[in-house]
Each structure stands twice: as C-alpha cells, then as structure tokens.
C-alpha cells in the first residue's frame, strides 16, 4: 500500500480514526508499562525511608 500524500496517510482509506486510535492505545499501554514500575519503586523507597526514620527515632 503506498500513499500519495500525507492526507492519504492520515485518512487511511476511511479507516484512519480506528488505525490511529489503535496506535495511540498501544503507545499509551506500552508507556504505562514502562513508567508504572519506576513510580511504584519510588513510592516503595520513600515509604521504606520514612519507616526507617520512624524506627530510628523510636529507639
């Protein structure tokens, strides 16, 4: 399949909305799968750091 203009690429023969929404959903899911573990790790490290500080103050 070849396209003669950028407009043809965007419209994809009348299916552009579905194609681009699918690409967008895929990118969103992949991005979440890359970012979420790091955010959870940061939250865990912060929580553990606060817990360690509380334990040191209790002694």
User: Which residues span the domain enclosing 48?
Assistant: 17-58
User: In which residue are the tokens 């023969």 written?
Assistant: 13
How high is the pLDDT of residue 59? 77
Task: Let me know if residue 41 belongs to a domain.
Answer: yes
Q: State the DSSP string of the chain.
A: ---SSHHHHHHGGGTHHHHHHHHHHHHHHHHHHHHHHHHHHHHHHHHHHHHHHHHHHH-
Summarised one tens digit per residue, pLDDT across range 1-59 is 678 999 999 999 899 999 999 999 999 999 999 999 999 999 999 999 999 999 999 87
Task: Let me know if residue 2 belongs to a domain.
Answer: no
Task: Let me know if residue 48 belongs to a domain.
Answer: yes
How high is the pLDDT of residue 13? 87
How high is the pLDDT of residue 56? 93
Number of structural domains (the chain) is 1
Task: Let me know if residue 21 belongs to a domain.
Answer: yes
User: What's the rounded Cα separation, in Å, for the pair 12 and 19?
Assistant: 8
How high is the pLDDT of residue 2? 79
Task: Let me know if residue 43 belongs to a domain.
Answer: yes
pTM of the full predicted structure?
Answer: 0.68
10 Å CB burial of residue 16 (0-12, 13-18, 19+) is middle
């Amino acid at each position: 399949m070849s396209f003669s203009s950028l407009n043809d690429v965007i419209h994809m023969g009348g299916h552009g909305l579905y194609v681009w929404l699918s690409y967008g959903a895929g990118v969103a899911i992949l991005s979440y799968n890359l970012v979420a573990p790091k955010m959870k790790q940061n939250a865990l490290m912060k929580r553990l750091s606060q817990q360690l500080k509380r334990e040191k103050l209790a002694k």
